[in-house]
């Protein structure tokens, strides 16, 4: 019930107005959001790079309501790509399709996505498409496959282990060597489409990890690019040490080099674990969100699991 409440609040305008006025809310959220401006985000990424961490940057915003909002979101992502190139950072971009028009007009979204991936390709960079709620999964994957049909192979996507359908989706994507960010999932989904119990979500995460690692073998063991911008096929996005250890053990059994997979984590969470993995020789990519529309992102992080309320509070005092 608490999770459902938090997700509902993430969409409520009255709650957004209330919470964003509280200074304490931003004081907590700012530990997990790299500021409200692109300049602040770039400074964060430079610091991460210095610490041996790669990054993916997300200009916060989703579910735009008209073509003009979608255009502005697209331009913001293009600006990120230009700044990464100008500053020679080890980073790429993440984008939500609902931010660039998916829920307004799919043709508009496709045009905006092509503009982003085309510019990224010309700059030698990579675009990760975030996955949203289950109502948008088919449209999102259709656009990913459309990109590959057009020759844009500098695109990857996120897959959520709490959805029943994810193994089939993952296998199809791996056949095309599409880089996948594997996450557990952060939206409220009905039991008809998603595992309701954490242990089942975890078990499916491990199954999908196996599919991804086997896909690495079948693809000839592609590895992270030297500049840190192009990830390997598996991007395992979790702070769950049991999931991480499982992936490490499976990769070792397959004889994979550490650079054939990467671990991904959220900015501001488990910095100790981030550095532990870097010292062990694994690529680690940090998801760096920024922007003024931070409220829905922050609330979803709290809602992923009710325990995250304590998780976030405890991380506020832990570096």
CB 57 within 8 A of CB 45: yes
Rounded Cα–Cα distance for residues 274 and 71 (Å): 35
Tell me which DSSP letter residue 194 carries.
B
Q: Which of 48, 126, 64 is nearest to 96 (CA)?
A: 64
CB 154 within 8 A of CB 121: yes
Look up residue 224 and give its two tokens: 């992270």
Question: Which residues have a Cβ under 8 Å from the Cβ of 139 and sit 6 or more positions away?
Answer: 97, 102, 106
Measured from the Cβ of residue 104, the count of other Cβ atoms closer than 10 Å reads 18
Rounded Cα–Cα distance for residues 237 and 266 (Å): 8
| Known catalytic membership, residue 181 | yes
Buried b / exposed e along 190-228 (16+ C-beta atoms within 10 A): eeeebbeeeeebbebbeebbebbbebbeeeeebbbbeeb
Q: Which of 90, 119, 128, 181 is catalytic?
A: 181
CB 96 within 8 A of CB 113: no
Tokens 């735009």 map to which residue?
64
| Known catalytic membership, residue 110 | no
Q: Which of 58, 130, 169, 202 is catalytic?
A: 130
Rounded Cα–Cα distance for residues 189 and 132 (Å): 11
What residues form DSSP beta bridges with 210? none
CB 10 within 8 A of CB 264: no
Q: What is the set of active-site residues?
A: 130, 181
């Amino acid at each position: 019930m608490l999770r459902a409440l938090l997700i509902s609040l993430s969409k409520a305008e009255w709650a957004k107005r209330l919470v964003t006025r509280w200074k304490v809310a931003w004081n907590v959220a700012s530990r997990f959001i790299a500021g409200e401006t692109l300049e602040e985000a770039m400074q964060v990424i430079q610091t991460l790079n210095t610490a041996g961490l790669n990054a993916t940057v997300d200009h916060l915003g989703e579910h735009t309501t008209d073509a003009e909002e979608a255009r502005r979101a697209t331009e913001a992502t293009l600006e990120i790509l230009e700044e990464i190139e100008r500053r020679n950072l080890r980073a790429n971009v993440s984008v939500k399709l609902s931010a660039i028009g998916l829920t307004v007009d799919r043709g508009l979204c496709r045009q905006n996505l092509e503009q982003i991936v085309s510019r990224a390709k010309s700059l030698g960079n990579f675009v990760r498409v975030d996955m949203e709620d289950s109502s948008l999964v088919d449209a999102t994957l259709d656009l990913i496959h459309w990109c590959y049909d057009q020759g844009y192979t500098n695109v990857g996507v996120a897959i959520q282990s709490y959805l029943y359908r994810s193994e089939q989706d993952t296998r199809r994507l791996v056949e095309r060597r599409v880089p996948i960010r594997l996450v557990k999932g952060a939206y409220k989904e009905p039991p008809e489409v998603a595992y309701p119990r954490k242990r089942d979500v975890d078990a499916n995460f491990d199954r999908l990890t196996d599919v991804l690692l086997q896909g690495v073998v079948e693809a000839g063991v592609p590895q992270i690019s030297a500049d840190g911008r192009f990830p390997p096929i598996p991007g395992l996005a979790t702070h769950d040490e049991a999931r991480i250890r499982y992936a490490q053990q499976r990769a070792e059994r397959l004889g994979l080099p550490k650079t054939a997979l990467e671990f991904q984590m959220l900015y501001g969470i488990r910095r100790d674990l981030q550095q532990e993995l870097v010292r062990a020789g694994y690529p680690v990519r940090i998801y760096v969100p920024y922007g003024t529309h931070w409220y829905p992102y922050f609330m979803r992080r709290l809602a992923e699991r009710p325990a995250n309320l304590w998780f976030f509070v405890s991380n506020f005092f832990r570096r």
